[in-house]
Amino acid sequence: MPALKDQVALITGAARGIGRGIALRFGAEGAAVGVFDRNRTEAEAAAGEILSAGGRAIAIHGDVADAGDVRHAIEETGRAFGPATVLVHNAAILPAGTIEETSEDAWDQVFAVNVKGAYLAAREVLPCMRKAGGGSIIFMSSITGVNGFPGMAAYSSTKGALISLARAMAIDYARERIRVNCVSPGTVDSPMLRDFVAAQPDPQRTRQAFDQVQPRGRVGTIEEIVGVFVFLASAESTFVSGANFIVDGGMSIKGDQPRL
């Protein structure tokens, strides 16, 4: 039996990268998927791929930092499939820079998407999960939120905030059978990483630096990350809440950081 049969999932930032990988895998595992993203064309393409494979999905266009758009996404998912039982907040932006190199506007923007987006989506989905008798909320954090990373001050701050938010919510909603967890990937070969690398003065050296700090000599793949989300969304993890799953190929144990 598919691991996520009868689950209804809303995934933010699901049109590309790891979010898209999660959406496709959830669809393959039997979940009905709301593909929520500000890129309408790519969201429709991801939803179309799930449908073509025999799954259930709808594309929803909107901005995760906008309360009205988030409410609309939850409502559209509910109308199509019933109350959402899984939320994956994956939407994120990654401005590069130290504190001194980060403008006030950039700081506000990254917190609006990465952290406020989580707040808005969780707030809207909680009544749905109560109606369904429980649910699973999963925040996409990052190893940068655990250990910090050079040149990513604002992004690292938001990812650390999500870990703390998951812990607080796990306590607040435990008796309602609503679980809240984080996943903190290490460096993953994704559009976000490629965009970050391309923006550096020496992209080739930067990419090599990310590979070299990995115990296996390479960054992770999207496929190596998404299985943890399936586990946390499934009935196999009903006693798991308030946890942060580090999925980094052992990079944090090795202790190296890329010299960008």
Tell me which residues are annotated as active site.
155
Q: If DSSP states are collapsed to H, E and C, what string results for the chain?
A: CCCCCCCEEEEECCCCHHHHHHHHHHHHCCCEEEEEECCHHHHHHHHHHHHHCCCEEEEEECCCCCHHHHHHHHHHHHHHHCCCCEEEECCCCCCCECCCCCCHHHHHHHHHHHHHHHHHHHHHHHHHHHHHCCEEEEEECCCHHHHCCCCEHHHHHHHHHHHHHHHHHHHHCHHHCEEEEEEEECCECCHHHHHHHHCCCCHHHHHHHHHHCCCCCCCECCHHHHHHHHHHHCHHHCCCCCCEEEECCCHHHHCCCCCC
